[in-house]
Structures are given as C-alpha cells and as structure tokens.
Structure 1
Amino acid sequence: MAEAFSLKDHLFNAEKVAYLGDLFAGAWDGFDRDGFVADVMVELLPLELKQRQQLIARVLGAKLPADLQHSYDIIAAALPAPCDPTLSDDDFGDFIFAPIGDFIAERGLEAPQTSLPMLAEVTTRFSMEFAIRPFLNKWEDQVIAAMEGWVTSDHYHLRRLVSEGTRPRLPWGQKVAMDPLRPLPFLDQLHSDPTRYVTRSVANHLNDLAALHPAEMMDRLEVWDGQAAQQPKEREWLTKHALRNLIKAGDPRAMALLGFRADAPVTGQITATPDPVKIDTAVTLEVTLSSPETVPVLVDYVLHFHRPGGKTGRRVHKLKQAKVQAGKPLVLKKAHKLKGNASTFTLHPGPHWVELQVNGRILAETGFELIA
C-alpha cells in the first residue's frame, strides 16, 4: 500500500533544512551550518507542522547574531531571488522561509522601523501574513502606513500581504484588535488587481468581514460593481466567492447581488431514497422545481444530522445553479454519500432530514432513517 502523503514531511524535512542552512552559510561565514542542521533534525521528526516551523525559527535565531540589524542583513543576503512577479497565481513560494517570519515576529517586534521592511522582503519568497499580525496588534498605525506603500507594489505577493495580513478571521492566524473596517480602502484598490492570487485574498477577506459587518461588506461589492474597474468575469468570480457563506445562509441581499430573486415564484418538492439508508452508502435526493415564469435559481440542500442526546448538526450543500423555464418542471438528482469515516464529523444512526433551499428560501423538506 502506498504511504499516505504527509504535508509536514513534504514542507519541513532534512533536505529543506539543509537547503536553508546552505543559504545562510553562503550569506555569512559565521553561520554554523552543520550545527543548525543537526540541532533541527535531532528534534524535528516527532513534531507536527507548526511545531516544526517554530523549532526551525528557534534554532535559526540561536545561530544568528544577537544584533538585530546584523541578522536582518544576513537574512537579506541569504534569500534567493523573489518569486516571479510576472505570474498571476500558483506561485506560493517555499514554505521553508516561513520560520524566518517567526524569527522576525519574535526578535524584531520592538523594532517595526526595520522589521516591517524585512517582512516585505521575505514575503516575496513566501507569504508573511501570520508574521505581520503581531505587528498589527502592537504597531497598528505604523503597519497601515507601510501597507499604503505595499498596496501599489510591483510584486503581487506584497500586494496580497496587505489583504491577507489584515483579514479579520485569518485561519490559524493571531487575532487582531484592529477595526475590521479599517482595511477597506486597501481592498478598494486591490479588488481590481490583475492577479487571482490577490483577488482570491480579497474575496476571502470579504467573506471574513461578512460575519462581522455584512451590510458594509455588500455595500462595497455594489460600489465595485458600479465602478467596473475589474474584468467582468473576475468581478463576478470575486463577488460569488466573497458571498459564499452568506449564500449558504440564504441571505436575500447576497442572493440578489448574484442575480437570484428571493421572491421568485418557484415551488419545489424533494424526496430521499432509499429509506432507511445505511452508513457508508448513499441517499439519492430528487428535486422537482416549477415556476410560472422563467427564473434563475440557486439550489442548495440543507442536511440535518442526528446527534446523540437529541442534538442535531447542519450542513449546507450545493446542488445546482440553473434556470427554471416557465411551465416546464426542472428535475435534479444527487447521490449524497454518507461516509462513516469522514475526518470532520461522525455519523450517528437515527432520523435525518433534508431541506430544499432555493434562492435562500426553504421550499420543502423530507427525511430518512440512517442505520448502521
């Protein structure tokens, strides 16, 4: 049997550690390359991904000079050429440089005047959105001032850092105390960026903001749509991606921004077969939609899971984006697999039910019994 892919082993391994050691040894004669590799590798293998990153940062810090500016000069000399600035996506850089961000955030937090330019330099090799957040919390005004220059940088990694680093709810990132509306002027500039790497970050940023300030977030989308500064297809993609959680929640205004009427005259039915259905098989959902007029529809189904103790779980799933033609029923089918070994949740035998959601409105529901 093939060995399972290990992300931590792919990103942080002996070869990568030696590569980083070689870069620093080539930049500074005083760098103990062999000691660096040995000190990292003696502890690395049992550790998880984040712990490996922190270990490399700690050992690197022990091998660099105590003088911060001297260390930064060495880092600048050790870095390879930046990621290709002419690309538009799929050039994420090398994860082995992530520990340098940890080092800067740990050793250089009290010196934003030198640390922020260093982070800007490193981020063109690998994104520093996690490392910038401690600086945002301690030196918010200084970071915002630096970002006013970065937002127009020729390098799309640095432009992306402005959006990604200020996200209100960056996954695995340190929480920031800044007003989540403060970065919006940056997004006004970045939403029309020619690179998907940047616009994807803008969309994710807006999706974060939707949980905190949905009205202001959708106000911005409407303004951008009126400005038409972005290519139509990219603007449509960004809008849809930014609204994804509000769409799952059936928000009427979000639906309208994508061209779906919450008051569309659609009726619907949904069935689930077989009943009962066994774990590790599939339940087939069949939906029939009818309308007296031709209308676009965004069709989702909401699956409610049985939980021990009378509790329930809820997940929204996409079914179809389509048009219901006037007087002509639209029939949709989906086999939903009920995996017993899913990594994110556990199925429990018992009553389950499914709601049919069309343009944000629940039109019908059905149920089935899940058995072991």
Structure 2
Amino acid sequence: MPEPLKNLLHQALVADMADRIAAQAPAFDRDRFAALATRGLDALELMERAALIRDALFATLPGDFPQAAAILKASLPASGRRGLSGWMLLPVNQFIAARGPDHFELGLDLLKALTPHFTAEYGIRPFIHRGQQRALAIISAWVSDPDRHVRRLASEGTRPRLPWAMRLPQLVKDPAPILPIVTALVDDPEDYVRRSVANSLNDIAKDHPDLVAAFIAGHIEAASEERRRLLKHASRTLLKNGHAQALANFGFGAAASLACDLRLRNAKVIFGEGLDFQIRVTNVGDTAQSLMIDYAIHHMKSDGSLSPKVFKFKTIALAPGQSQSIERRHAMRPITTRRYYPGEHRIAILINGAEIASERFLLVMPSSDPG
C-alpha cells in the first residue's frame, strides 16, 4: 500500500528545515520553530501539516516581510550548498502566499527563485487574484527565462482552473490576458513546459470551447510533431465532447455511413472485476473515414440517475467497405475519485463525438456474507 501523502511532511523534515534556515540566519530560533511545527503534527493531513509549519514560520521569522524573504531566499540551495528544497517548500509557498501580496514584486521574485526547487504555482495565485494586470505584467516576462521551471510557472500558475488550487474567476470569465503566455510557450523546447501549456488551454476550453478550437486551428498548420501533440492534448476535453471544430482540426469529420456492433461478454459485472466488450465497426459508405473511437461508462449515482465518464479507446482509418474489431476490458474496481453504486449502468460507443451504439449492464457488489 502506498505511503500516505501526509507523511511527506514529518518531524525529521521539520528538524532538517530548521537547520537549513538557521545556517543562513543565526538569530533564527530553530528550537522554537521545531516545537511549534511539530505540535500535534502526526494527527494532521498533508495540507494541515503544511499550514502548521507555515504558522511556525509566521511565529519565528521576522514580522517584516522583506527581512523574512531575504532569509528564505538565502536558505534556498545555491552553489552546491544544501538548502530548503522539495516538500519543505510547501509551507514556504503558503507563507509567501499569505504575506507576499503586500510586497508584490518582492513576493513574486521569491516564488520565481523558489520554483526550481519545488513547484510554486499555488503560491502565485493570490498575487494574480489581488492584482491580475500587475501580476501578469511580471509573470509574462518569465516565458523567456533560461530556467524551464520558471517558464513552466508562467503557464501553470496562470491556469484558470488549476486543480487543488485557488480558482481565478477573472481568467475563467476572460482568459484573453493569458493567451500571450501560452502562445509564447507553445514551442518551448521542454516537454515539461509544453504539457503545462496544453493543460492551460484545456482549462480554458471548459468555459470557452470555441476560443480554444480556433486557437488550435490557428496553430496546427505545418505544426511540428511536438506542437501537434501539445495541441491534441489541449483539445482532449473538446474531442471527448465531440466539438465539431476540434474534431475537424485533427481530420475527423462527422461520423456517417458507419455500422457499429457492440457486444458485451458479461452483462453482469462483479465489482472488483471488469466489463469485457467488443465492437465491430464497418464503413458502409463510399469514402475513406478517419475515426476517433471513445467509450462512455454511464455510472449510477446515489439517486439512481446516470452520469457519463468518457474514456479514450482507439483511432483508426477505414476504407470503404472495411471493418475492424476491437476488444477492451474496463476495470470496475475501487478508486479514490469515484464511489460506485450497484445497479444498472450503461456503456456507449462514441465515434467522432457522436454516440453510435450502447448497451446496459448490471454492476453487482460482492456479498460480505461468507455463506
């Protein structure tokens, strides 16, 4: 069983953190910091532990933010010297997010210095929320930074709907101010950065699908293989939703003149096992077709209604009269992001965004009665 995430912040890490700060600031009360940062630590979850350590920083670093920022920056690794790095910097992020916006340029500069040693996209979001135009004027300059982590921070930190982070409602409503950032990074030499750009565009697509489809159309002609992969990843929500322009961007037209036979090998699925199914797709038209095949599992909810979740299946090309059979097992087992309920579910086959076949199946929870 994997180690719980909360254990990434532990007492030994706090002691090490105290030593690394004290090495750069002899007046820092490392013992008081360690005592405050570990009081009740073991009973807390990850973000609660980070907040406890952040509060210990509040209590032991100077109340004057510029002085505190100077200590924290000096405590980062440099020239082979050990310093604050990795998960130690999660509570530092929280410290800067809370105190930094009152010292705008200084706070953002500290996050820029921090990000090569740990992600800082959560820390910059309060700055954007406080003063979007001012923050983006600074962050936009990072797209040409020689450090890939800084360039990625420019993209990742400005995502309108970054998971597990403060939402940026102004950018959800109008993402135009961050389009120059993603445009500047669309051909970044690092896949690490390009994937962040794709995720930012995918965020935008959830609220402005036509805008992103048009952006993709404007950047796909003569695109390199790397850029094409980025644009397709950025289009994943649009493609799953069958957005016509997004499908056309990648050569998928409206599904037509197709026959699809869907067969379930087990219409009754025991939870913990899987649904085995096969499809046979035939092009009954007189022109070749490129087909993006997905499937949706319509899960039963607690109120008895069904909620679909789309999964990628396969992309194929069929000549006129050609058929292809495809098999798949879809696992139905415990996951942290979904609660399963017994009862009738549905599987639907989607071709180029359109539902073309479906069947119902029964999900059964195993009995806890050994008899």
TM-score, normalising length: structure 1: 0.90
Separation of aligned partners in 2, 1:55 and 1:22 = 18
2:192 counterpart of 1:200? no
Match 2:340 to one of 335, 343, 347: 347
In structure 2, the residue matched to 1:89 is none
Separation of aligned partners in 1, 2:124 and 2:215 = 25
| Maintained 8 Å contact 2:347/2:358 | yes
Match 2:213 to one of 194, 215, 218: 218
In structure 1, the residue matched to 2:359 is 366
Unaligned runs of 5+ in 1: 84-92
In structure 2, the residue matched to 1:129 is 121
| CA shift in 2, pair 1:115/1:82, >3 Å | farther
Separation of aligned partners in 1, 2:46 and 2:315 = 38
| Maintained 8 Å contact 1:122/1:128 | yes
| Maintained 8 Å contact 1:39/1:59 | yes
The offset of 1:330, in angstroms, is: 0.3
CA RMSD of aligned residues (A): 2.0
Match 1:281 to one of 250, 273, 278: 273
Separation of aligned partners in 1, 2:294 and 2:250 = 15
| Maintained 8 Å contact 2:260/2:280 | yes
Separation of aligned partners in 1, 2:119 and 2:303 = 44
The offset of 1:154, in angstroms, is: 0.9
Counterpart residue type for residue 358 of structure 1: I
In structure 1, the residue matched to 2:331 is 337
TM-score, normalising length: structure 2: 0.90
| CA shift in 2, pair 1:49/1:288, >3 Å | same
Match 2:307 to one of 275, 288, 313: 313
Separation of aligned partners in 2, 1:306 and 1:126 = 40
Structure 1 stretch displaced more, 167-176 or 299-308: 299-308
| CA shift in 2, pair 1:66/1:226, >3 Å | same
2:244 counterpart of 1:248? no
The offset of 1:334, in angstroms, is: 0.9
The offset of 1:103, in angstroms, is: 1.0
Separation of aligned partners in 2, 1:105 and 1:275 = 52
Separation of aligned partners in 2, 1:195 and 1:40 = 37
Instruction: Report the secondary structure of 2:177's partner residue.
Output: coil
| CA shift in 2, pair 1:22/1:353, >3 Å | same
In structure 2, the residue matched to 1:87 is none
Structure 1 stretch displaced more, 301-310 or 325-334: 301-310
Runs of 4+ in 1 over 4 A off after TM superposition: none
Separation of aligned partners in 2, 1:175 and 1:126 = 21
Q: 1:109-155: CA deviations, max 9, x gaps?
A: 21113222122111222221111111111122221111132121111
Paired residue total: 356
The offset of 1:264, in angstroms, is: 4.5
Unaligned runs of 5+ in 2: 366-371
In structure 1, the residue matched to 2:3 is 5
Match 2:67 to one of 63, 66, 70: 70
| Maintained 8 Å contact 1:295/1:325 | yes
The offset of 1:226, in angstroms, is: 3.4
In structure 1, the residue matched to 2:369 is none
